[in-house]
Amino acid sequence: MKRFQYIILIGLFLMSPLMHAGMIVLEGNYMGKNIFVKNPFGGAGVGFCAFEVTVNGRLSPDEVNQSAFEIDFANHDVNLGDKIIINIKHKDDCAPEVLNPEVLKPKSTFNVQKISFTDDGVLEWTANNENGKLDYIVEQYRWNKWVKSGEVSGDGKPGTHQYAFKITPHSGENKARVKQVDYTGKPRYSKTASYKSSAPEVTLEGDKFKGSIELNGGKSLYELFDRYGTLVKRGYDQVIDISNFEKGTYYLNYDNTVKSIQIK
């Protein structure tokens, strides 16, 4: 009886790495590069830490029983840009190290071949050399700075792609560009396009206001900052409600103008 119990205990010990396992999950898109994993020994010093890898739910044929291994996507039916989910199962007393997880993240490499405005203020651009699905952020130059106007989803696949975005113009010359920001946090910009808008000039009479501010000439994008430079209101309108603001100095951006005002 004791011998039978001893055999059971040995069996449970050998099975324990599988019964008490951890898992590293990697998600992203196939960007044309393989994943490399550093695989230490288990905490008990017997066998390697990782013991199973699956890619999109299918067991990977890559040899993991070694100190370092490669997850080779050539062994899997994936195309550039496809969604990837990798599960790396490992013993619970150790952890493998994924050396290059960033290769599953899209990288901004786009090349804008042409960017220009149509006569009615639509920004159009043609781009190629995209490496992963990233948004194009459209920026418009107004109030002496670049201001975000909106976003357009990038295709992210090989080939040439065309995009368009309708900006809200101000009077006079308008300038716009597009950019992408990838996992590095560093923006990548296109060239600047410009066109002269026929929109009427929006003006503001006086510099002291109470209750509301009324723009002359129609609606406009606007930003209102307090004396410390904190943005307190933003919108698109002709009449701006300021009834809830404290008295003091403020800075109003509207149309293509920056003006200091007093709220009474």
Residue with tokens 């199962």: 89
Q: With a threshold of 0.85, does the pTM exceed it?
A: no
Is the pLDDT assigned to residue 4 strictly greater than 70? no
Question: And the tokens for 80?
Answer: 């550039």
Side-chain half-sphere of 188: how many Cα atoms within 13 Å? 17
Closest-CA residue to 129 (of 164, 104, 101, 154) = 154
Residue 239 has what pLDDT? 98
137 near 151, Cβ under 8 Å?
Answer: yes
In this prediction, residue 131 carries a pLDDT of 86
Neighbouring C-beta atoms of residue 211, cutoff 10 Å: 11
Q: Is the pLDDT of residue 195 over 60?
A: yes
Q: Taking residues 120-146, what's their average pLDDT?
A: 95
- Whether pLDDT at 202 is above 50: yes
Is pLDDT larger for residue 139 or for residue 9?
A: 139
- Residue 15 is predicted with a pLDDT of 36
The third-level CATH classification (topology) of the domain covering 111-197 is: Immunoglobulin-like (2.60.40)
In sign, the C-alpha dihedral spanning 151, 152, 153, 158 is negative
**For all residues of the chain together, what is the average pLDDT?**
91
Looking at residue 216, its pLDDT comes to 96
Tokens (6 digits) for 219: 């609606």
Q: What is the pLDDT, as a whole number, of residue 158?
A: 85
| pLDDT tens digit sequence for 44-76 | 888 999 999 999 999 999 999 999 999 999 999
The structure tokens 């090349």 sit at 111
The average pLDDT across 250-258 equals: 97
Q: In this model, does residue 149 exceed pLDDT 70?
A: yes
Q: Say how far apart CA 127 and CA 160 lie, in whole Å.
A: 6
Give the model confidence (pLDDT) of 11-20 as tens digits: 333 333 344 5
pLDDT score for 132:
86
Distance CA 60, CA 146 (A): 47
> Side chain identity at 57, as an amino acid letter?
G
Q: What value does the CA radius of gyration of the chain take, rounded to a whole number of Å?
A: 29
- Domain range summary for the chain, segments of one domain joined by +: 2-104, 111-197, 208-263
Of all helices (H) and strands (E), which one includes residue 3?
Answer: helix 2-19
